[in-house]
Structure 1
């Protein structure tokens, strides 16, 4: 293990997280809030410590290889999650907040889960609301991707980091040759989509502050809102339409966005991509199933269909915004919504869940096995569009799905044992955190404040496992990793 490389990268990341501290402190100054000084002081400490450690290691060999890449990716989420909790403990408005609650909120932000322990958000200082939003925004594409775009300028290679963190394979060949340039391109695209979303929210009727914060959490598919009622606070169809559009776009593969809008401006690429088509079909199916479930029990109106469409997109993309109390709907409806979050968005998106690509591979492989039983001598392949999926990829996908299911069962069992939650609440809490969804059902439908500390830490582990797509973290538990 090249500890100098690990230390250098983590030092840069610690310095980087001073930026949201300073920005939140600036918001506090604008609104004359006492939290401004705490944010500024903590930001100064992190910038100084990160800078000193990096400068002390700059003459060392800081080459990042695959081994270091996996370790840095995992360590950065845990380290930054803990460090970003500090402002929530020390700010005057939050003096009664425990370390566990602060860590839960911080990890939920960085992993873009959106589960919260805060209540009375409507009265929360704006500096804290902004801080929560920008944490999700930085976590959206992965703070590691941001680091990969910056580290080459500091003399630290980043290819292994990008491979470990990037949520999916890079499909567009124009992005392959230079990973750092690819990261920069994707980050600029992410920034552009965020700016467009903020303008759209503002035009739709949000204040500038709300528009910026909600743009951060929409494009990150995070789901943090400035209000207890989430997007439902605004009760404005235009705002909900903007949210639906940008949640859907953020759930698509960002390299597909790059290919369709930047590399050669070919919007038809969206329609040719089999994963994008399946993603849209899944959301449409969720809308239909929930509408049928609601219509059978309570009937359906134009207003309720508006709520159905919003919640279907929000849950299927794992954003977690709400405009209605889905827990009060007939049981089929919330069950379908939570199950949709297991599929999640596309690979290479900011969404959580197992990802549509993997679900497609599993289903295609299942169909192939059935065809082999019928025609034992036949030769069948798994194809997505015109692409033949290799046996190695199929094995990896099955391994991921199996491990995902196993970890879900283990976490669910542990939560049932250590908490006082009923089965529905425990199931939805683990699903919401592992899938990086946020809101659950029952006792965790609105927030997680009532859970005990042990349950919250179990759910924090679920959030990180979901964000790192399991194997990045689990590889560190293999003894051979440490003996190489």
Structure 2
């Protein structure tokens, strides 16, 4: 049965799953006696299932070959750009006080795990609508987990191009295709492998947050947002939660899964020896998580030499914890702000160190995780290449000390990583200029662009001097922002691969 369903286009399967998922918030609203919202989700779910079944029946009588990698890449692009049109229908009908464009932008932000909300006041949305935002973001995170191995890896995209022998957007040689399972079977196997892990980790974090004191709805949405790195919150952030620092400590442990795929899977080994201690992504991530807060913490002493301000042990620990949690949160592109982040800011004397948070979000997390950004593996490839070039300046005839895989990352991998950086910079410049032409000042335009391309929506509230009100943006600016979020989630190399003539030949 599952194999038969997966034989249909991936976008049709995702639309059917979305329609079924609408019945969960419908039941939630019904239990809470919010009948208007319940009807919105129930009717949308029934209508969606009807359309999916009709399209499925129309396609079932046609002889079709198996779907290839590029067709699933197109389906993935449609899942981030077109599917939110359907996801926004119950949100728009349930809220009743916003435009459909606002609802669409909100759903694009959720499904791409960006988490930038147009509704700054959480009280404007009921619990059911917050639940729908969290569910869409959580499902988007699972889609990233599965599609990374099932769709992007065969095409050497999404960070896999750094270690692969084939060119980005191209499959392996013909001899490798006979050894690889069909695309439908691959999706099924990877979903069955990673799905239970994703659900189990979310459930474990939910229970721990419940024990910490959060109410069930808040704990559930924060758990889903942490695993999906969406940063969606029904109360304006974890700093407003009842679990306090205890809840932040638990969330901190689960955000580590965004630093490396090896924390939950072994299909992206980039080192000669297995294990997190040998994984370059995890090591660089931990170095940033520990190093940046220490630098912010040490900066205080430069100012205190003149002021001679006394500091208690509690303030010292609060400043260290606030910096460490917030750094990991933005490095993983989650965007949660610690309760003690204000203490860390005052301690360092930087006010709002938005530039640091922007830089961390641009770096991003690990390959094939739910984190966005340029990915730690690409940063590592450029680091290896730069270190080798410095060695050759000192010893021009030296021979590099590395395995075959290390040489691949240092040479071809660094070349591809540099191409990606140039494409990312061009995208950053394009969307910044476009938003500026639409009437925004430079600071707001660049913060919005980085937030969208790195899928770190909370940057719009904490990176600039004043929070950016997305609801007041023009219609054109919202569409541009939505396009930037889609490109940031799918990455520019994957968008370019969609222009491959092999995709449209059939």
Question: Are the equivalent residues in 1 in contact too, given 2:237–2:337 (CA < 8 A)?
Answer: yes
Are the aligned partners of 2:384 and 2:410 in contact in 1 as well (CA < 8 Å)? no
Cross-structure match for 1:314: 329
Task: Supply the distance in 1 between the matched residues of 2:127 and 2:52 (Cα, whole angstroms).
Answer: 27
Name the CA distance, whole Å, in 2 between partners of 1:444 and 1:104. 21
Q: Give the secondary structure class of the aligned counterpart of 1:350.
A: coil
Q: CA deviation at 1:254?
A: 3.3
- Identify the match of residue 459 of structure 1 among 456, 481, 488: 481
Question: Residue 133 of structure 1 contacts residue 224 of structure 1 at CA under 8 Å; is this kept in 2?
Answer: yes
Per-residue CA deviation, residues 256-289 of structure 1 (Å, 9 max, x unaligned), is 42349xxxxxxx8222222211111111122223
Equivalence map 1:15-414=2 (5 Å): 15-33=16-34, 34-59=36-61, 60-91=63-94, 94-142=95-143, 145=146, 159-160=150-151, 163=154, 167-169=158-160, 179-180=186-187, 181-234=189-242, 236-249=244-257, 251-259=258-266, 269-293=275-299, 301=315, 302-323=317-338, 330=350, 333-380=353-400, 388-389=408-409, 391-414=411-434
Over residues 453-473 of structure 1, what are the superposed CA-to-partner deviations in whole Å (9 max), with x where a residue is unaligned? 222221211111111122112
Measured in 1, the distance between the counterparts of 2:14 and 2:388 equals 45
Q: Residues 285 and 15 (structure 1 numbering): CA distance in 2 closer, same or farther, change over 3 Å?
A: same
With the length of structure 1 as denominator, give the TM-score of the two structures.
0.85
Indicate if the aligned counterparts of 1:110 and 1:135 stay in contact, CA closer than 8 A.
Answer: yes
- Alpha-carbon distance between aligned partners in 1 of 2:359 and 2:101, rounded to the nearest angstrom: 28
SS in 1 for 2:422: helix
The runs of 5 or more residues in structure 2 that have no matched partner are 1-5, 164-179, 268-273
Residue pair 2:284, 2:376 contacting (<8 A) in 1 also: yes
Secondary structure of the corresponding residue to residue 472 of structure 1? helix
Q: Look at both structures and tell me which one has the larger radius of gyration over its CA atoms.
A: 2
Please state whether the residue corresponding to 1:352 is helix, strand or coil.
coil
Give the match's secondary structure for 1:185.
Answer: helix
> Cα distance 1:387–1:282, how it changes in 2: closer, same or farther (>3 A)?
farther
- Give the conservation status (yes or no) of the 8 Å contact 1:115–1:447: no
Mapped partners of 2:489, 2:81: distance in 1? 12
| 8 Å contact kept, 1:279–1:345 | yes
Residue 123 of structure 1 and its aligned partner are, at CA, apart by 5.0
Q: What is the CA deviation profile of residues 61-111 of structure 1, one whole-angstrom value per residue up to 9, with x for unaligned ones?
A: 1411133122222122212122211122111xx222112211111011000
Distance 1:188 1:6, change over 3 A: closer
Q: Secondary structure at the match of 2:335?
A: coil
2:465 and 2:33 mapped to 1: Cα distance? Answer: 36
Counterpart in 1 of 2:450?
Answer: 431
Offset from partner CA, 1:167-207 (integer Å, 9 cap, x none): 54499xxxx87734233212221111111111111111111
Confirm or deny: 8 A CA contact 1:24 1:131 kept in the other structure: yes
The answer (yes or no) to whether the contact 1:117–1:448 under 8 Å persists in 2 is yes
Offset of 1:112 from its aligned partner? 0.3
Counterpart contact for 1:316–1:344, Cα < 8 Å: yes
- Residue 408 of structure 1 deviates from its aligned partner by 0.8
More off after superposition, 473-482 vs 209-218: 473-482
Gaps of 5+ in 1: 149-157, 261-267
